[in-house]
Chain A
Amino acid sequence: MTLPANDNRAERARSLPRPAATIGLLAPALAVVGVLFGGGLALGLVQSLGYLPAAGMSALSADHFARVLADPDFFKSLAFTFYLALASTLVALAVGVAAALALNRLAGRSRAIQFIFQIPLTVPHLVIAIAVAFLLAPSGLLARGLQGLGLLPSGVAFPLLVNDPWGVGIMAAYVWKEVPFIALMVLAVLQSSGAELLEVGRTLKADRWQRFRYITLPIIFPSLGAAGLIVFAYTFGAFEIPYLLGQTYPMMLPVWAYKAYSDVDLLARPEGIAAGLVIAGVVTAAVALAQGLTQAARRRGAVL
């Protein structure tokens, strides 16, 4: 007896808008994304291939990409960018989850705590970068405070945390900025589910770690993964924090792209755009890879 089921499906299809209508309804949003985002990418691609008539360049070639990729510093920069984006994301995820768990317990008692926690979300990255510089520089607030307490002989003795070779300052700024974002994404999930399951876990004598590993983590994983990907993509491509808190050299890729793009030599512009497209490519690849891995793990039945 397949007829009723078919009827049912037809019924449901009728209640949904037809595909044409769906596209019509989505058109404004699609147009914005398509024209502004897609158009920008397409224009960037054309320019990175050397089409810049204003500067007398109109022949298409892959030379600019070749020149970017052949630069001995490019892979150094790429590796440095990858390291910093990944490290910032992982640290922010760990701290964010811990914060969400704590908030979940506390927020029931105090809404104020949750509100205070949201404040950094409204502060621009640029401001955070400057705050970190003021705080962590050898002449910053922290160093002066320690000096004042007599714990530090002079500013020179303070460890180098800003414009440092390991990007500690950059990482600190990103973690500070992204922890509330991750925590709130996770908290939303925690608050809407999980309480009963945790009860069950407790009755089954699961210890705290087991309850976290087998109940909480699987519940929050999808939103954790999404938040992590957003943070990774952002830190990989954002410019202001590494520009202010990074070393002059080696630099993160977004700073590289900016420097090439703003070069007085118009010929360097396509290279800047090419570097920007490489960033976009790496981020896209990272997102695809992460999705692929997650799905593969699910198919194998792994508890995530």
Chain B
Amino acid sequence: MLSQRGMRRLRLFGMLILLLSSPPAVAATMAWPDIEARAKGQTVDWFMWGGFPATNAYVNGYVAPRVKELYGIALRQVPVKDISEIVGKLLAEKQAGKTAGGEVDLMWINGENFRTAKRHGLLYGPFAEHLPHQKLVDWSKPSVRNDFGEPVEGLESPWGSAQVVMIYDSERTPEPPKTLGALIDWARRNPGRFTYPAPPDFTGSAFVRHVFYHAAGDVAVWQGPLDEKRFEAAAGATFRLLKDLAPFLWRQGRTYPENPVRLGQLLADGEVDFAISYHPAEASKMILDGLYPESVRTFVFEEGTIANTHFVAVPFNAAAKEGAMVVANFLISPEAQLKKADASVWGDFPAIDIGRLEPAWQAKFAALPRGAATLPNDVLQRRQLPEPPSEILVRLEKGWDEHVLKGRP
């Protein structure tokens, strides 16, 4: 029989255990105003790929001063060459038992790196559903719900989106093909006038995935667990199609442009009639920069083109989790998304569903100067296909190299 004091001590001990075993800083279960209160005065170190000047200018010149002003958060951008370095670092910290006070508070991430981080338990959360602005995000869209086939499950919050578009010169090609199948027929009828960057280039690899969806005749099925037999059949058909197409490509398919920049140059030089871009607004910017003629336009296939979303995530051991969440919430605010979509700032596509905004905000998005070659948002958003899981991506790249490029059976 325990004494009264003993009981009390036991209860205290129990509470202590409970406290210790619960995740550090239970921000996710706190009310939003409390999170904002705790975020005040925090310094948030945002690790992100720093290779794009427009993005850096947006983060340092706009986001950082605004979150200081609105929430008293000091936001510091830490540019890195590749976020995979940070995922590796977090993995090492996890193995070394460093579960709190980490120096990374927020990271810009998607795809393969998200999958690695999620599978190794390197992410804090789920936190995304706690952000007030989350109601502006259309989570029913496959390209938001799944990040390259990996369910997001609230472990990252969307920041922006990108979608593959085909670029052409409306003067040279007044009637561009409407579907991928029609494009392939067009390429066969016009030998030497079409090509795509050689995978594993990011854009070239995305083109091969479109061909894969076309050859497989289905998109949704690949989001689930991989059916090996089905994949083999679809991949085989993809490579056969591309191998048969090769003699009709630019330079008879004996060589390929190494990246989309080179492909764009071939389009501008009149060597080919189409270029491919993963950035819907890029062609307009190229016209503004004088690199494409005024008559250049873009289109998406009727069956859709692959779109992906890029996200921000909070590491499991971040020191300023509340601050990071507040920044993530600000990033999907109508104000921040509008600024980001401005072609003169960055021109990145919104991660939020414009239709969910109040009419006044909708009007502001509609009034954004859109480049001549950029498709309207509703056209793009109606025709989005999800990225397949990264495992499929890697196997298609390898298979292309083997069967299409090197011509092995």
**B390 partner residues in chain A, CB cutoff 8 A:** 264
Q: Does A73 contact B (CB under 8 A)?
A: yes
Asked if A264 and B394 make an inter-chain contact with CB atoms under 8 angstroms apart, the answer reads: yes
Assembly CA distance A265 to B394 (angstroms): 8
- Measured CB to CB, the nearest residue on chain B to A262 is B200
Q: Does A114 contact B (CB under 8 A)?
A: no
Contact with B255, one of A155, A163, A243, A264 (Cβ below 8 angstroms): A163
Asked if B255 and A248 make an inter-chain contact with CB atoms under 8 angstroms apart, the answer reads: yes
Assembly CA distance A156 to B254 (angstroms): 15
Q: Does A249 contact B (CB under 8 A)?
A: yes
- Minimum CB–CB distance from A78 to chain B (whole Å) comes to 16
Contact with A244, one of B88, B198, B258, B405 (Cβ below 8 angstroms): B258
Report A207-257 residues with CB < 8 Å from chain B CB.
Answer: 243-244, 247-249
Q: Does A118 contact B (CB under 8 A)?
A: no
- Measured CB to CB, the nearest residue on chain B to A250 is B406
Assembly CA distance A138 to B269 (angstroms): 9
Asked if B258 and A243 make an inter-chain contact with CB atoms under 8 angstroms apart, the answer reads: yes
Count A-side interface residues using an 8 Å CB cutoff: 19
Asked if A248 and B198 make an inter-chain contact with CB atoms under 8 angstroms apart, the answer reads: yes
- Minimum CB–CB distance from B299 to chain A (whole Å) comes to 24
Asked if A138 and B405 make an inter-chain contact with CB atoms under 8 angstroms apart, the answer reads: no
- Measured CB to CB, the nearest residue on chain A to B253 is A248
Asked if B112 and A248 make an inter-chain contact with CB atoms under 8 angstroms apart, the answer reads: no
- Minimum CB–CB distance from B27 to chain A (whole Å) comes to 30
**B394 partner residues in chain A, CB cutoff 8 A:** 264-265
Asked if B271 and A247 make an inter-chain contact with CB atoms under 8 angstroms apart, the answer reads: no
**B269 partner residues in chain A, CB cutoff 8 A:** 137, 139
Report B337-372 residues with CB < 8 Å from chain A CB.
Answer: none
Q: Does A263 contact B (CB under 8 A)?
A: yes
Q: Does A165 contact B (CB under 8 A)?
A: yes
Assembly CA distance A166 to B83 (angstroms): 39
Assembly CA distance A245 to B256 (angstroms): 11
Asked if A248 and B256 make an inter-chain contact with CB atoms under 8 angstroms apart, the answer reads: yes
Asked if B406 and A160 make an inter-chain contact with CB atoms under 8 angstroms apart, the answer reads: no
**A155 partner residues in chain B, CB cutoff 8 A:** 270-271
Asked if B406 and A249 make an inter-chain contact with CB atoms under 8 angstroms apart, the answer reads: yes
1/0 contact string of B110-133 vs chain A (CB within 8 Å): 001000000000000000000000
- Minimum CB–CB distance from B178 to chain A (whole Å) comes to 28
Assembly CA distance A200 to B397 (angstroms): 67
Assembly CA distance A128 to B406 (angstroms): 29
Asked if A264 and B200 make an inter-chain contact with CB atoms under 8 angstroms apart, the answer reads: yes
Chain B interface size, under 10 / 10 to 19 / 20 to 34 / 35 or more: 20 to 34
Assembly CA distance A156 to B390 (angstroms): 39
Asked if A138 and B254 make an inter-chain contact with CB atoms under 8 angstroms apart, the answer reads: no
Assembly CA distance A263 to B394 (angstroms): 9
Q: Does B251 contact A (CB under 8 A)?
A: yes
Contact with A139, one of B91, B192, B270 (Cβ below 8 angstroms): B270
- Minimum CB–CB distance from A161 to chain B (whole Å) comes to 12
A-B contact count (CB 8 A): 37
Assembly CA distance A156 to B198 (angstroms): 22
Q: Does A54 contact B (CB under 8 A)?
A: yes
**B112 partner residues in chain A, CB cutoff 8 A:** 264
**A248 partner residues in chain B, CB cutoff 8 A:** 198, 255-256, 258, 405
Assembly CA distance A207 to B397 (angstroms): 62
- Minimum CB–CB distance from B119 to chain A (whole Å) comes to 13
1/0 contact string of B157-201 vs chain A (CB within 8 Å): 000000000000000000000000000000000001000001010
- Measured CB to CB, the nearest residue on chain B to A140 is B269
**B406 partner residues in chain A, CB cutoff 8 A:** 73, 249
- Minimum CB–CB distance from A113 to chain B (whole Å) comes to 35
Known contacts A263-B200, A265-B394: does B254 contact A247 (CB below 8 Å)?
yes
**B270 partner residues in chain A, CB cutoff 8 A:** 139, 155
Report A141-162 residues with CB < 8 Å from chain B CB.
Answer: 155-156, 160
**A163 partner residues in chain B, CB cutoff 8 A:** 251, 255
1/0 contact string of B198-237 vs chain A (CB within 8 Å): 1010000000000000000000000000000000000000
- Minimum CB–CB distance from A88 to chain B (whole Å) comes to 19
Contact with A54, one of B88, B192, B198 (Cβ below 8 angstroms): B88
**A54 partner residues in chain B, CB cutoff 8 A:** 88, 91
**B200 partner residues in chain A, CB cutoff 8 A:** 259, 263-264
1/0 contact string of B366-409 vs chain A (CB within 8 Å): 00000000000000000000000010001001100000011000
Assembly CA distance A155 to B251 (angstroms): 13
Asked if A249 and B251 make an inter-chain contact with CB atoms under 8 angstroms apart, the answer reads: no
Assembly CA distance A155 to B269 (angstroms): 10
- Measured CB to CB, the nearest residue on chain B to A243 is B258
Known contacts A249-B406, A264-B112: does B255 contact A138 (CB below 8 Å)?
no
**B398 partner residues in chain A, CB cutoff 8 A:** 265
Q: Which 9 A-B pairs have the closest CB atoms?
A: A139-B269, A247-B255, A163-B255, A248-B256, A248-B198, A248-B255, A249-B405, A139-B271, A264-B394
Query: What are 18 A-B contacts defined by CB distance under 8 Å?
Result: A54-B88, A54-B91, A73-B406, A138-B271, A139-B270, A155-B270, A155-B271, A156-B192, A160-B251, A163-B255, A243-B258, A247-B254, A247-B255, A248-B258, A264-B200, A264-B390, A264-B397, A265-B398
Given A137-B269, A265-B394, 9 extra CB contacts under 8 A: A54-B88, A139-B270, A155-B271, A165-B254, A243-B258, A248-B198, A248-B256, A248-B258, A265-B398
Using a CB–CB cutoff of 8 Å, the interface residues on chain A facing chain B are 54, 73, 137-139, 155-156, 160, 163, 165, 243-244, 247-249, 259, 263-265
